Amino acid sequence: MAEIKILKNIMDENLSQAAKNRQWFRSRKILALNLIASPGAGKTTFLEQTIKGLFPKFKLAVIEGDITGDHDARRIEALGVPVVQINTEGGCHLDAHMIDSVLSSLDLTGLKYLFIENVGNLVCPAEFDLGEELKVVVLSTPEGHDKPAKYPLIFSEAQAVIINKTDLLQAVDFDIDKAEHDIRRLNPNVPIFRLSCKTGEGLDKWLQWLTSQGTENS
C-alpha cells in the first residue's frame, strides 16, 4: 500500500508542477512541444528539420532529455538554436520539475516555440505531463506498424503523430494504412503526418500545421 501511495504522490506533484509550467508558457505565448518516440525513431533529426523550417523567422529554444551525455544538444547547438541538456542519470522520462529547473537558463524573451526532446521510449514519457501544449509522437517505419496497438497510451494522448522514415516503407514492410487505422481507433481526430526527414518529403505539411497552432491565449 505504501508504494502505491508514494507513486500517487509523485504523479500528483508532477501534475501540479505541470499545471504551473503550462500557465507559465501560456502567459508568455510560448508553444511548448513534447517530442516522444523510441530511441532511433528520428526525434533529433525531425527536430533539426523542423528548426530549419522555422528558424530564424521564429525564435526557438530546445530542451534535450537524455539518460546521459550531450550528443543531441550539440546537434541542435550547431544550428544556432539555444539548447539546454537535462541528463536523467537512468530515469526513463523527463518530468515537470526538471523542465521548471532549466527554464531560467534559457533566454525565453520573444520565444515562440520551445521543443522538448524527451528520453527515448514510448512508455514512461506518456505518463508524465511536462506542461506542454502539444505532445507529438514520432513513429518510424522500421519499428513496425504494430506499435500504436502495443503502446496505446501515447498514441491516444498525442496532439500530432509523425510517421517518419517513409523512404524506408518498402524495405521494412511497414503497413502504413494499418498503423493509421490503429492510431485513429485510439485518437480519431489526431493529425497524422507521413514524412521522411531524410528526403524532406511531407515536412511542408507538418510545418504548415505547426505554424497554424497557437497557445490558448495567442
Ligand X SMILES: Nc1nc2c(ncn2[C@@H]2O[C@H](COP(=O)(O)OP(=O)(O)O)[C@@H](O)[C@H]2O)c(=O)[nH]1
Residue 41 CB, shortest distance to ligand X, in Å, is 4
21 touches ligand X (CB under 6 A)? no
Question: Residue 67 to residues 49, 74, 90: CA-CA distances in angstroms?
Answer: 23, 15, 5
Q: Which is nearer to ligand X, 41 or 114 (CB)?
A: 41
The three cell numbers locating residue 190: 489526431
197 vs 47: CA distance, rounded Å: 9
196 touches ligand X (CB under 6 A)? yes
How many of the other CB atoms lie within 10 Å of CB of 73? Answer: 21
28 vs 178: CA distance, rounded Å: 40
Residue 140 CB, shortest distance to Mg ion, in Å, is 12
Residue 131 CB, shortest distance to ligand X, in Å, is 22
Question: Residue 212 to residues 51, 69, 162: CA-CA distances in angstroms?
Answer: 16, 34, 17
SS3 137: strand
Site for ligand X in 99-128 (CB under 6 A): 120
Site for Mg ion in 58-97 (CB under 5 A): 72
Among 108, 168, 190, 207, the residue binding ligand X under the rule CB under 6 A is 168
Q: Which is nearer to ligand X, 41 or 60 (CB)?
A: 41
Among 18, 21, 43, 66, the residue binding ligand X under the rule CB under 6 A is 43
Interface residues toward ligand X, by CB under 6 A? 37, 39-45, 120, 164-165, 167-168, 196-198
